[in-house]
Amino acid sequence: MRHWRLILLGLGVIALGYLVHRFLPPQHNPLRPPSLIEPIGLATYGKLTALKYDEELCREKLIEAGVEFEVLRADGAEKKCPLDETLRLKRSLTPFNAAPLRMTCHQMAALHIWERHVLRPQAEKIFGSPLRQIETYGSFSCRNISGTRTRSQHSYANAIDISGFVLEDGTQISVQRHWRERSDAGKYLGRVHKKACRLFSTTLGPDYDAAHADHFHLDMGSVETCR
């Protein structure tokens, strides 16, 4: 009798797994292939993390999403910070004010999802105006974390600093000026920061420390932090 119960239990688990895989929306299903176009879901962060270990698939997904990039060979970009093969962002949905932006593929993938599914729709929702430009202090930078001897994720081309946004109607949103402000700009910053925590390993803003008073730091390193 016990033997048959185990068999029935096993069959039940298999059936449940099939139903979950068959009918669960792809953004919530960790067994479905990753996509940068599908909405953000429960499985999105795990899929982004998996892309870190599959460079070919990661690049395929960027191309599928319409992201244009150039592959940069492994080199000693700076003697202290030699890089493996990375990507240079050429074109996404929204222009960035600084160029070039050199990043790892999985960092670029997370950035694109944030741009496509968070930054752009939230601008339309809160302001009724499209997003025209993303303001950034850059991505690759051979340096340590401020006040430490530990290499920043910037030194691995695995991070980006975002300082603000410009809308098509001319509205400017500044992390330094509008963070925690009771305004549409403050609401926008709060929402995009919160949703960044669902995509990037580390999301740091003005509440973290004085060094981040004027920007969001977003990276896909091994440390998970949302501040």
For 168, other C-beta atoms within 10 Å of its C-beta total: 12
Is 96's pLDDT higher than 60? yes
Domains of the chain, by residue range, sit at 1-25, 33-226
- Name the band, by pLDDT with cuts 50, 70 and 90, for residue 148: confident
Range in 3-7, 121-125, 192-196 the model is least confident about: 3-7
Q: Which residues are CB-neighbours of 186 under 8 A, at least 6 positions away?
A: 178, 179, 180
Number of other residues whose CB lies within 10 A of the CB of residue 75: 11
Q: What is the DSSP string of 167-200?
A: ETTS-EEEHHHHTT-SSHHHHHHHHHHHHHTTTS
Categorize the per-residue pLDDT at 23 as very low, low, confident or very high, splitting at 50, 70 and 90: low
CB atoms within 10 A of CB 125: 11
Q: Could you tell me if 115 and 94 are in contact, meaning their C-beta atoms sit under 8 angstroms apart?
A: yes
Q: What is the mean pLDDT of residues 2-11?
A: 48
